[in-house]
Amino acid sequence: MKKILITGGAGFIGSHVVRQFVLTYPDYQIINLDKLTYAGNLENLKDLEDAPNYSFVKGDICDAGFMNDLFLKHSFDGVIHLAAESHVDRSITNPMAFVETNVTGTVTLLNAFRAHCNIGQAIFYHISTDEVYGELSNEGKFTEETPYSPNSPYSASKAASDHFVRAYHETYGLNIKLSNCSNNYGSHHFPEKLIPLMINNILNGKPLPVYGKGENVRDWLYVEDHAKAIDLIYHQGRNGQTYNIGGNNEWKNLDLVKLLCQQMDQKIGNPEGTSIKTISYVTDRAGHDFRYAIDSSKLMNELGWKPSVTFEQGLSKTIDWYLTNKPWLDNVTSGAYQTYYDAMYK
């Protein structure tokens, strides 16, 4: 039986990756290691609690002693590393937390892997972001050859962790894989990020804060399609290689928020145009990257991946999930979230 460690499996993307692996590979043992920060939530994995091939361990990837013990106890065949501080705005107010988890944590994990896993056989797969490439103007797309040019403390910390993973491949011969993905959306997304924040605010009749003029562009991918790409790259991606993952689905923030307003008004029975009127233009994010766009042709041509869900379907499914899981939303927006929101938006 193969043993795979997934870090950050209680977070947004991590919970979808855990589900993808636990349900698709009953003969694998999946161990989910997560610190359960504000962004980690075991409610995201309630349906898997009793699965015989799944277990959860609470722990911090920065804790070298703990990580060594874990790797000694289990002889992992592979690691899929998602644990991270992931929100750009938080990285602007507290960069050090991003250095700690994303850089120190990744290197601590690499050291445990190197000390205890079968080098040359076991796989270390690092999940990263398209933000490491910097920003685009109206033209072009990021390819795997685009030079790194991170602009935010978040993307700088992810770029550093990518470099360490590649350095451990070159220096110590680790089998590594990397992927750099665009903006994900879907269920269990913490409402500090654009789409779930807007859904939550519409439901609560709060203003919809659009940064600057809302002209920045992001490429959106349904999270389950990302999880399927990760499955494919883990099993069939080439050693030492990077794969870009994107939805080929670019939206200006303002257009996206307007579409969301229309779909939400329809679904909750608001008169047409109700939510759009609550859009509020707020101070722009410092160093706000203008546009991201991903060329996923390497992944498509080499491994045959393509997104399976259109944006309209994905967005509709996402809104439906939030409407039927109000207690989840109420739970994650109580307490510390209010303090974050007030400091960020008032």
Residues belonging to the active site: 130-131, 154
Query: How far, in Å, are 71, 101, 102, 286 from residue 65 at the CA level?
Result: 10, 15, 18, 37
Nearest of 270, 262, 275 to residue 312 by alpha carbon: 262
For ligand DAU, what does the binding mask look like between residues 48 and 87, x meaning CB under 6 A?
A: --------------------------------------xx
| Minimum gap (Å) between residue 74 Cβ and ligand DAU | 28
CB atoms within 10 A of CB 224: 21
| Minimum gap (Å) between residue 181 Cβ and ligand NAD | 4
Identify the DSSP state of 121.
T
* Residues binding ligand NAD (CB under 6 A): 7-8, 10-14, 34-37, 39-40, 60-62, 82-84, 86, 101, 105, 127-129, 158, 181, 183-184, 190
Estimate to the nearest angstrom the gap between the alpha carbon of 302 and the chain centroid.
Answer: 23
| Minimum gap (Å) between residue 130 Cβ and ligand DAU | 5
242-251 CB burial, b ≥16 within 10 A, e <16: bbbbbbbbbb
Report what 105 binds from ligand NAD, ligand DAU, none; CB cut-off 5-8 Å by kind.
Answer: ligand NAD
Nearer to ligand NAD, 112 or 275 (CB): 112
Estimate to the nearest angstrom the gap between the alpha carbon of 251 and the chain centroid.
Answer: 18
Structure tokens that stand for 6 in this block = 């997934």
Q: Which of residues 215-234 bind ligand DAU (CB under 6 A)?
A: 216, 218
Structure tokens that stand for 269 in this block = 């029975």
| Minimum gap (Å) between residue 269 Cβ and ligand NAD | 30
Nearer to ligand DAU, 113 or 251 (CB): 251
Do residues 233 and 303 touch, judged by C-beta distance below 8 A? yes
| Minimum gap (Å) between residue 60 Cβ and ligand NAD | 4
- Given candidates 31, 48, 123, 210, which one binds ligand DAU under the rule CB under 6 A? 210
Nearer to ligand NAD, 104 or 262 (CB): 104
Nearer to ligand DAU, 60 or 250 (CB): 250
Report what 54 binds from ligand NAD, ligand DAU, none; CB cut-off 5-8 Å by kind.
Answer: none
Of 39-47, 64-72, 128-136, 228-236, the segment contacting ligand DAU by CB under 6 A is: 128-136
How many whole angstroms separate alpha carbon 103 and alpha carbon 109? 10
Do residues 329 and 203 touch, judged by C-beta distance below 8 A? yes
Cα dihedral sign, 155-102-208-340: negative
Residue 146's region, left for phi above 0, alpha for psi from -120 to 50, else beta, is: beta
- Given candidates 186, 209, 237, 314, which one binds ligand DAU under the rule CB under 6 A? 209
Nearer to ligand DAU, 191 or 237 (CB): 191
| Helices 194-203 & 311-324 angle (0-180, nearest 10) | 50
How many amino acids of this chain bind ligand DAU (CB under 6 A)?
A: 19
Is 3 one of the binding residues for ligand DAU (CB under 6 A)? no
Structure tokens that stand for 134 in this block = 């910097």
Nearer to ligand NAD, 89 or 265 (CB): 89
Sheet with 183-185: strands ordered across: 183-185, 217-222, 250-252
Report what 292 binds from ligand DAU, ligand NAD, none; CB cut-off 5-8 Å by kind.
Answer: ligand DAU
